[in-house]
Amino acid sequence: MSKAIRFHQTGGPEVLQWDDINVGEPSENQILVRHTAIGLNYIDTYHRSGLYPLPLPSAIGMEAAGVILKVGANVKGLTEGDRIAYASPPPGSYSEERLIDADKVVTIPSGVSDETAAAMMLKGLTAQYLIRQIHKVSSGDTILIHAAAGGVGLIVCQWAKALGANVIGTVSTEEKAILAKANGCDYPVIYTKENFAERVMDITNGEKLPVVFDSIGKDTFEKSLDCLKPLGKMVSFGQASGPIPPVDLGVFAQKGSLFFTRPTLFNYAGTSAELRDMSTDLFSVVESGHVKIQIDQEFPLSEARAAHEALESRQTTASTILIP
């Protein structure tokens, strides 16, 4: 028997349980993985709370690194002992061991540790599609990233800065402002003290922005639209403060024929080839030193409840990992 965090009903962190599970043997296209480090992400709380419904009882967790214990008969290019990482459904990374389709994983380069890989796959691949695909950030761009001191935010700040952009980032505290600035955010804005839309107007001399990347949702949506120039892109990739209320689509016309998208990683990395290309881009920028993955919190896997409590109360910065 192996151990895993699961939930039998939806709710707060208290519903997470430390269960015995029978992992089984890999099918012909699967691998059996022993996890060495597991990433904590906000989507995990959406699954646990029922915001993104799953059949119950349910496994949880979308991201991890580990070592291959067994490979299925039809698996090519992977062998026992390989170090791999993934950020992919179905949930199940909060476990000591698991089965996963071989085409959902990538091998970890020698210059990247298991802990770093587990902390960066979902957040880093998210950053990749945000600034390398949805809006290809280039030198001279000015962008706004909400939650700039969070896991995705810190990667976006560093990567965008390396690409030559000017980065505005919202944070909730002075401490997080210092962290964001140290990681490439030119203009940290403490949204609890300042009106970020007014600050954007000041910083851009009234020109506004071509893009806003928003993982906060309800609390930031309306003012984010006010930050965009005509034909600007509103990229809503999370809802940490709650879902965006119903919107009259006419507002996008009124504010300058704006574009709106609600992307998910799993559409951008929908094939193994797309996943490999995105991962190669991410690993390259990390190995180059332009992006450093900061792990500020580490919890035993069995204490996932405490990790969720810290995440949802906004007590965390950068990335958090769970160790089996």
pLDDT at 316: 87
Q: Quick one: pLDDT at residue 244?
A: 87
List the beta bridge partners of residue 6: 17, 59
Share of the chain above pLDDT 70, in %: 100
Res. 59 pLDDT band, cuts 50 70 90: very high
For 226-259, how does the pLDDT look when each residue is reduced to its tens digit (9 = 90+)? 999 999 999 999 887 888 889 899 999 999 999 9
pLDDT digits over 129-170, tens only? 999 999 999 999 999 999 999 889 999 999 999 999 999 999
User: What is each CA distance from 263 to 57, 85, 103, 129, 134, in whole angstroms?
Assistant: 27, 22, 21, 9, 9
Residue 319: the pLDDT is 87
Quote the pTM value. Answer: 0.90
CA nearest to 294, candidates 86, 170, 151, 146: 151
% of the chain exceeding 90 in pLDDT: 91
At residue 280, the pLDDT reads 96
Local confidence band at 225 (pLDDT 50, 70, 90 cut-offs): very high
DSSP alpha helices (H): ranges in 170-238?
174-182, 196-203, 221-225
> Can you list the domains of the chain with their CATH numbers?
2-121+272-323 (3.90.180.10), 139-262 (3.40.50.720)
